[in-house]
Chain A
């Protein structure tokens, strides 16, 4: 698998039963959802609202409870407390198979004994759709994911990416009220991952299907979501648009998890913070005094030797294609990442001068400063 698939046009609306459908998606609400395993609490009162047709990601490191939250939503786990609503109705007592959901799993989940078409038609058949009709609609769903030509294959004859495409077709063919994606891309290699990610979003937008997507990959979450809910230690830390989370993280945890940041020492006073001799506005209020400031690589700029800024020495420089990212040791000893034009070649040991852009930043009380 060396080259990317050419961008595929989705089928014509008029000829595809799935695209032509007018079925409405449902909104989803989690209210104070708590989940205990024995004496360990893994969800501490999760609240989340997903509007009909919205694509929301649950983003967080492994063990933060994002998959558990999704499984509670699917009915595969029972919440120890709180409320789950789909389409306004409390589904706490409704078993998984009656929740009218579609789900794609992290591990390959196609039924090994069934062909691709039969796999795709499975959910329709369970809903009492006749064989001929189910096969026609399953074929349409496979066309939608671009695998109509593989309808007669078995799962083991497909690549990982193809298997997950079929799993997607199988999950959406029943036109569920909610589509749940549990890290469906994490087993795939990088190129296929990006392709399928974009395709999932494209299909989701066309179908207007409410989607909850669980991932630990912040780039993935930011790329496809209407909104992202960042989770940590069983709680939702911040919900917002990808831009919000990136530009205005509510807490140090979110800032550390979303995007790359370097921690640079600064001094907060009022609603500004002084970093390397410049005063920057704060994203959110912080305590006066010595602080750690989150600085993104694209906000650090290399300047001329006579300009304002601090001296730094290049440690490493990485070519990333369109840009370069370099690691610098600043004169005060901190290490910062800087993103710069690919044409600017930096070699280890080189001395230069940097400053930080005049953008709002997040600061937290310095880890080593004495408590006030």
Chain B
């Protein structure tokens, strides 16, 4: 064991505090959703049953619509990251290494801009987008593509730095691979970890984003949750828990997919 590690008791206490920080709000939310309907007593699952009750379908429709929109947005955003951003990063690494600092600065910039400031700039752009591409929820993905840049950049760049992209690409070229084959068969398979992480964090950012969607009047999971929350706080809590569970499952799936690749490389 690391001789610099804190003593056993201290470690347990630290662990316990951290665990409480995470579990108390979670448990409180669960308990809250188990509050019985007026007239009932003790704990009950009535409110959970209520959201699946066909009689309430109309009332919760915004949430399902919002969830659907958010999932579409997540998909389009991940597609932007993988199909546009990743090839660009590889291109910078291979052909324009001197642009790397500039590129990094631009990619990290969005993290320093508050969402509210972004919206001010985005509004006129979205007026144009609305005219040319319609006001479909998916168009928000352009804004989200920018929002996730800093996170995606970090994880993908770490993977690029971990391999010798230039030599691998040149080896691929001398073996007869065109640029497409070099990208898809040589470089991307070796960036797998970073791409998975970038996709995961993009999904997490998109599912949790509220400000931009709300100010641009798009219906997403978060904006719908707010609407429902105003009508019925219990139901909003249930959907929050469901969203958490969903994100957790997604994390597991993506993490598992990543380990299949990693497992082969570990001695």
Binding site for B on A (CB under 8 A): 74-76, 95-98, 100-103, 105, 107-114, 122-123, 126-127, 154, 156-157, 167, 170-171, 174, 180
Contacts and interface: CB of A to CB of B under 8 A. Distances in A.
B170 interface: yes
Contacts of B174: 74, 76, 96-97, 101-103, 171, 180
Contacts of B264: 113, 154
Interface residues of B, number: 23
Interface of B: 163-164, 167-168, 170-178, 181, 185-186, 189-190, 192, 261, 264-265, 267
Given A105-B167, A105-B170, A105-B171, A156 B177 contact: no
A156 B267 contact: yes
Given A112-B190, A113-B261, A156-B265, A123 B164 contact: no
Given A96-B174, A127-B176, A109 B167 contact: yes
Contacts of A174: 175-176
B170 A157 contact: no
B171 A111 contact: yes
Contacts of B170: 76, 96, 103, 105, 109
Contact of B178 (A97, A101, A107, A122): A97
Contacts of B167: 105, 107-109
Contacts of A156: 265, 267
Contacts of B175: 97, 102, 122-123, 126, 170-171, 174
A113 B189 contact: yes
Contacts of A96: 170, 173-174
A157 B174 CA distance: 24
A173 to B, nearest CB: 9
B174 to A, nearest CB: 4
A113 B265 contact: yes
B69 to A, nearest CB: 36
Given A107-B164, A111-B190, A113-B190, A97 B173 contact: yes
Contacts of B181: 126
28 contacts: A76-B174, A95-B173, A96-B170, A96-B174, A97-B175, A97-B176, A97-B178, A98-B176, A101-B174, A102-B175, A103-B171, A105-B171, A107-B164, A108-B167, A109-B167, A110-B171, A111-B171, A111-B186, A111-B190, A113-B265, A114-B189, A123-B175, A156-B267, A157-B267, A167-B171, A170-B175, A174-B176, A180-B174
Given A109-B164, A123-B176, A126-B175, 8 more contacts: A95-B173, A97-B177, A101-B174, A103-B170, A103-B171, A105-B170, A113-B261, A122-B177
Contacts of A108: 164, 167
Contacts of B178: 95, 97
A167 B181 CA distance: 19
Contacts of A74: 174
A339 B217 CA distance: 88
A157 B265 CA distance: 9
Nearest to B192: A113
